[in-house]
Chains A and B, each alone.
Chain A
Amino acid sequence: MLHLSAVRRQEPLGWGSCLVFFAALALAFSVSGLLLAMQDKPALDALWLLVHSAFGSGYALEDCLIKAIPIFLCSLGVGLTFRLQIWNIGAEGQFALGAVGATWAALTFPTWPWYALLPTMLLCASLTGSLWGVIPALLRLKLRANEIIVTLMLNYVGILILEYLVYGIWKDPGSFGFPMTSEFVPAAVVARIAGTRLNWGLVICLVIGVLMTVFLRSTRLGYELRACGENVRAARYARMPYAKLVVLVMAVSGALAGWAGFLEASATLGRLQPSIMSGYGYTAIVVAWLANLNPLIIAVASFLLAGLRVGMETLQLDLQIPAAFGAIMEGLILLSVLAGGFFSRYRLHLRRAA
């Protein structure tokens, strides 16, 4: 009789894991195609249209990059905390607080020139965002409160604070009662890169992505972070500053989500309104896992996921495929890629039972 068993790989799979990734992607696409065919939609055309409308033109690439910016920033942050095995589910609330902080600066100093105002907005977004990250970190360290619960709950609090402000004291008197602040002055809007529809937030993303990679690979603190994430007890025994790291990663994670909130409010909406909340904080968690917490792959994964969502809109428009199909496909991809991760870590062993 044949006996199948899984054996943990001793060596990392290397390029093989790339193969696994693409196999998983192919599987997800095949199942999606099958689902489309079952609804009498042209499956191959649809999948091609999806890819083409997401990445097939200059416009489309621009759209994807714009959409990827907030996902990337949030995901980079939560990915960092996950490395330390701190489960920050709170990017959504940190994003909201960041937007609130930036908006406060924009509304309070409308006469400042852009070179003073934008950095102030960025700073305020970092402060408020990281505050929302540090609270659960301290509660965990001092009171052993579970950070998953605390960050999740703080999301609701953060969003309610945002709503309280835009429905109340920040509401634009000229908005006919709609919940939105008045439009930001031009100095408070992050400019577009000349000749494109992209804003300078993209450059922030590139810089912070590189810095993060360098930090994790080449600094002592980065090394300690990775060590603590592998084994907290051993790391503590080696006198690594676990508590300090927890606070640090939560502060950085919150600040990054806060930046995303700042960029959305400033560059995309030009004001604060409740519809700024579109779930990037939760998408970020998915992206971080898809990317195996690696900053560079997070960048790629954010871009691809943004592409999937942008492409789905065209699929709806041209082939009238329901929006829910996008969510199904996203789920299929996540599921198969994460399941594929199993093959990167384990080797299937087939042997004849004795």
Chain B
Amino acid sequence: MRKCLPLFLLTFLALGSTCFAEDMKVGFVYVSPVGDAGYSYAHDQGRLAVEAMDGVTTSFVESVAEGQDSERVIMNMARKGYDAIFATSYGYMDPMLKVAKDFPKVKFLHCSGYKNAENMANYFGRIYQARYLTGMTAGAMTKSNVLGYVAAFPIPEVIRGINAFTLGAQAVNPDVQVRVVWTKTWYDPATEKEAAKSLLDVGCDVIAQHQDSPGPQEAAQERGAYSVGYNTDMAAFAPKSHLTSAIWNWGPFYTEMVQQIKDGTWKSDFYWYGLDKGIVDISPFGEMVPADVQKTVTDKKAEIASGAYQVFTGPIKDQAGVEKVAAGAVMPDADLLGFNWFVQGVVGTLE
């Protein structure tokens, strides 16, 4: 025991010096490693922006499984005196809600879910707006009029993205169809690359993805096809094939939230920002994209950002040709959040 004592003291000194009591502590929970160059990486870039704020320290736990593990991780942050906790995957919703009830003073922010509490907000970004723009780009560049989409899981977030991409492609090229393959993974480079190859085999000449790995990009480049990335600018992984990416930019939102919590003005709400706040965007175009296509897409981007154009404006038909949204009508957010059908032009099932 006597031998342990110095170690004890050392530990407390070390711990004490790393976190001043005055600083606001903000914790982040990620579902995958931050080195994935994808979804969690994008969130972590947002965290770094928060870290750069005055009087705020941040930390994170990565690769946290949804369910039991996430509840413990979130609870431990609350126990350790974190003032605000961001959890960035939909499976963290129920665990976070449980913890939020036990720690009324801590502010909880959950990404991509739908449950709220007094001290728990949820937030997401309208990445579908960026997807619409990437769809326009892909629709303009395709020769075969068949686009491929490597998708993770048939949940509303992903379905919404596929539909927006398809509508964007159809806006510039009415004959286009989008073929969907489900991988049932978020991050599995080999599986996702194989899925992209299967799409290339059936004649797709642009590959888009809702995956966290650059596997589909690599497959497209190897076959001389085009590709559209997701999460971050994926140009570096496939410079010859990469047209553009639908990207996240969490910094402005995260710093805004943390500043509000610091000032005591924060309120629990459902935050769903898009191009208007710069939370989502598209990455710079590859040099193979002609100037006129770039201009069409950029003009549309300005229109969506200003609110002059809504992506899901009718008429929108489902796969069977039944009109789901009447001409001129705009789908309400509640319907977007629960999107469970494909628009006409998508080839694939929801299983």
Query: Which residues of A pack against B, CB within 8 Å?
Result: 42, 44-45, 48-49, 52, 59, 63, 66-67, 163-164, 167-168, 176-179, 264, 268-271, 273, 275-276, 278, 310, 313-314, 316-318, 320, 322-324
In the complex, the answer to whether A44 meets B338 with C-beta atoms within 8 Å is: no
Within the complex, what minimum Cβ distance (angstroms) separates B115 from chain A? 10
A277–B35 Cα distance when bound, in Å, is 23
A164–B147 Cα distance when bound, in Å, is 27
B76-111 vs A, Cβ < 8 Å mask (1 yes, 0 no): 110110000000001100100000000000000000
Within 8 Å of chain A (Cβ to Cβ): is B59? yes
In the complex, the answer to whether A310 meets B72 with C-beta atoms within 8 Å is: yes
In the complex, the answer to whether A275 meets B62 with C-beta atoms within 8 Å is: no
Within the complex, what minimum Cβ distance (angstroms) separates B154 from chain A? 7
Contacts of B296 in A (CB 8 A): none
Contacts of B184 in A (CB 8 A): 163
In the complex, the answer to whether B59 meets A320 with C-beta atoms within 8 Å is: yes
Asked whether A278 and B68 contact (CB < 8 A) given A176-B156, A178-B156, A179-B153, the answer is: yes
Query: Which residues of B pack against A, CB within 8 Å?
Result: 7-8, 10-11, 14-15, 18, 27, 33, 35, 59-69, 71-73, 76-77, 79-80, 90-91, 94, 114, 153-156, 159, 184, 337-340, 351
A322–B63 Cα distance when bound, in Å, is 9
In the complex, the answer to whether A273 meets B114 with C-beta atoms within 8 Å is: no
Instruction: Indicate which residue in A52, A271, A318, A323 contacts B59 across the interface (CB closer than 8 Å).
Output: A318
Number of A-B contacts (CB under 8 A): 98
A323–B154 Cα distance when bound, in Å, is 28
Asked whether A44 and B156 contact (CB < 8 A) given A168-B351, A268-B67, the answer is: no
Give 6 CB contacts A-B under 8 Å.
A42-B14, A275-B91, A310-B72, A313-B72, A317-B27, A323-B61
A271–B184 Cα distance when bound, in Å, is 20
In the complex, the answer to whether A176 meets B114 with C-beta atoms within 8 Å is: yes
Contacts of A66 in B (CB 8 A): 68, 72
A269–B71 Cα distance when bound, in Å, is 10
In the complex, the answer to whether B94 meets A52 with C-beta atoms within 8 Å is: no
Given contacts A49-B11, A63-B76, A322-B62, 10 further A-B contacts (CB under 8 A): A45-B10, A67-B68, A176-B156, A269-B68, A271-B94, A310-B72, A317-B27, A317-B73, A320-B59, A324-B63
In the complex, the answer to whether A178 meets B90 with C-beta atoms within 8 Å is: yes
Q: Which chain B residue has the least Cβ–Cβ distance from A42?
A: B14
